[in-house]
Every structure is written in C-alpha cells, then in structure tokens.
Amino acid sequence: MGGVKRVSTATAADATGTGTGAARSPGSAGSAGANLEMLRSHNAALVLGLLRDAGAEGISRLELAERTGLTPQAVSKITARLREQGLAAEAGRRASTGGKPRTVLRLVPEAGHAVGVHLDRDELRVVLVDLDGAVVGERCEELDLGAGAEAVLGAVCGAVRGVAGRLGRGTGAAEGGAGTGSGALAGVGSLVGVGVALPGPLDHAHGVLHRVTGFPEWDGFPLRDALTERLGVPVVVDKDTNAAALGLAAGGEEGAAGGSFAYLHLGTGLGAGLVIGGTVHRGARTGAGEFGHQVIQLDGPLCECGNRGCVEVLCLGAVARGDVAEAARVLGVAAGNLVGLLDIDVVLLGGRTVAGAPEAYVRGVGEVLGARARREGVRGGAVPVRVAPRGERVVAEGAAQLLLAPLFGRGVG
C-alpha cells in the first residue's frame, strides 16, 4: 500500500483575536506562525461551541466575550469571519440594560456536515450529520469485514457517496485533496470530512489497523490513507468505542464538563471508550480501551485474541447460550474492575446485544457494582449504570464527531 497518497486533515475554522482567556501555546519565536494558528483555531472553537450551545435563541457578542475571556474586539473579528463563512448568522435582537438592543448570533447547522461510518464485523452503518449533530441521512447494510480490502473499501465508499451526494457540489467547507477515484467528494457542498469507526486495536494517530480480533488479515492496513485517496476529503479513523464515547461527550453526556464515564459496547465484540476529565482517553499509543481482552479466568476458554478467559469470550459465550443474566454478570465483574481502577462517575452500556435486552444488562451490571460498593464501603454508593442514548447509531454518530468535535473544542483528547 506504499502508493497510497496522503492528504492532510483540514483544521477547524479559525479567526484572529486575543484576550485574557486566549490559549497560550508554548514554543520559540521560530514557531510563532504555527502557534498563532493554534491560538486562532482555539479561540474560534470557543466561540463556535458557545454558538452551538445557545441554540436557535442565539447569544450576543458581549456574552461571548464574557464567557470566553476574549476581548470584545477579538470576538467581533471571530464572529465576522464566521458569518462570512456562513457558519453564523443573526438571530434577532435582545433588550439590553442600557443603550441599544444587542444583536444575537446563532450557529447555522446546515453550513457544515460530516459523514460518520460504523464499520462493524458484519454490518455497515453510515450517517450524515449537520453541525448540531442532527442526523440528516442514513444508510445501513450487511457487510463481511473478512471479504477483503477492495470489497470493504468499495462498500464504504459507495455508502458514503450515497449519503453525501444529497449535499450537492459547491465551494463549502469541504476542502480535501483532489481525490483519484470516480467517487471523489472534494468540493461537495458543506462536507467537512468522513469519520470511520471500527473494532480495534488500531493506531488512531496514523489511521492504521492492527490485528482486529477475528480478522488478522487487516493487520497493518492504512485504512485512513486508502479512504482519503478514494474519497478526496479528510478521513479520521478510530475505534468504535472511542468514537461513541466522543459523540456522547460532545453531545453533553456525563463527563463532557470535566467528569468521567466509561462506555461499554457489547455487540459482535466487547470494548470500552473512556472519557476522563471531559476528554477521550486513548493512551500514549492510542491503545486504551481494550476492555474485552482483560483476563478474568486463567483457565477459561480460548479467545480469538490468543488469551484464555477474556471477558469478551466469556460474555459472548453466555450470549450465544441465551444466558443474558450470566452475560450481564460477567460484564459487571469487568466493569467493576474498571470502576475500581479509574474511579469513574458513570457506566454507559451500548451495542446491539445490549439493545436486545437493555433492562437485563443494566440490572445485572448494576447488581455487581452495587455489591462491590457495599463490600468496600464506597462513599456515595455504587456508580450508576445506564443505557447510552442514540441506540444503534451511537458509534456512527460518534464517528462523525471525529470531524466535528474539534471545530467546537469538545471532548477531544
């Protein structure tokens, strides 16, 4: 795959401006240009995030300055540029305590879109979302991850073109590379890029797959670059659990404001997405969250990863036997280990297997965590357990946030 062309990922919309709340980037005078770009993007992300939070009612420039710590002049420059780009618009006027009424601004959700791809072992789900994260297009079809790279890439590109094609072509936010296939999407309407989420392990930083459990033939495959070449727009690749966790954090779930949660995904496999301090924890080598392959039974059944007694093989084995209570108990034991190790605030459950019996899994995992909390005398009681919102689209929607969340400075580790 050495001939795959690399295309750099576009940065978030930026604008000039300084103030007491501006980000300070370390570096020497020789890197001043790069640091200024980081400063601009950070400040614009602060403003965009507040515009999105304000919703249709909007927010005034004075309020933006107060909440970001930027000067009013800096906010005026940033919002002027956002309006020029079509990302912000007037939302009316609001009475002030003195002087003329204040103009309020709002985000324009339709000014930008991202495609989220959930590439599972046996299914492909693709969604198109706007800047608010609302799903405006979706496709779902069967897929065999073991069918070979060309077949899988063809299916992904076809589905992406199918949902993105409704945007039309124009001079919007999509400014990827030229692309080389007939399906290149560069310049398509307001498309920011494509996020792809699939089972790990993988290298998020470089978009390269490792030995996906059950599909060793993908080991070392440069998925990000292969899709970038075919689609001609920025592509980001991450684990399904990380993408879901990012989407939940960006959407204001627990952990988004500096807290922590674990998203446990039980579907064709088992993994975890971790949000700590409000950001996704991927680890130094982007390998965090291989939750399903912690060993809890030394002489247990052989797992496809090569170990014995992994949580995944025990849990999925119980699912295959129709023993939901046992599957939930095993999941609860593993969740208890995670809670004890990281002292997280809440456990969220998701994935198609959980969707089949959500109450049973919440009850089973909760009982194990409750018993552990009582034994240990945990102050405040057991960590709460809930089903994650957004159902079976949680991973695909989170994959789209791999592109959108950086624009708003949300949940990015």
Q: What is the pLDDT of residue 42?
A: 87
**pLDDT at site 186:** 60
The pLDDT score that the predictor gives to residue 134 is 94
Within 108-227, strands assigned E span 113-119, 123-130, 135-142, 191-198, 202-203, 208-209
Residue 168, SS3 per DSSP: coil
Closest CA to 9 of 221, 202, 203, 194: 194
CA distance 187 to 342: 44
At residue 22, the pLDDT reads 36
pLDDT reported for residue 175: 35
Distance of CA 372 to the CA centre of its chain: 31
Question: If you count them, how many residues does the chain have?
Answer: 413
The per-residue pLDDT for 278 is 85
Q: What are the pLDDT digits (tens) for 192-203? A: 999 999 998 899
* Phi, psi dihedral angles at 52 (to 5 degrees): -65, -40
| Residues of the chain below pLDDT 50 | 1-34, 36, 170-182
| Joined tokens for residue 115 | 């495609």
Q: What is the pLDDT of residue 28?
A: 36
| DSSP sequence for 38-101 | HHHHHHHHHHHHHHHHHGGG-EEHHHHHHHH-B-HHHHHHHHHHHHHTTSEEEEEEE--SSSSP
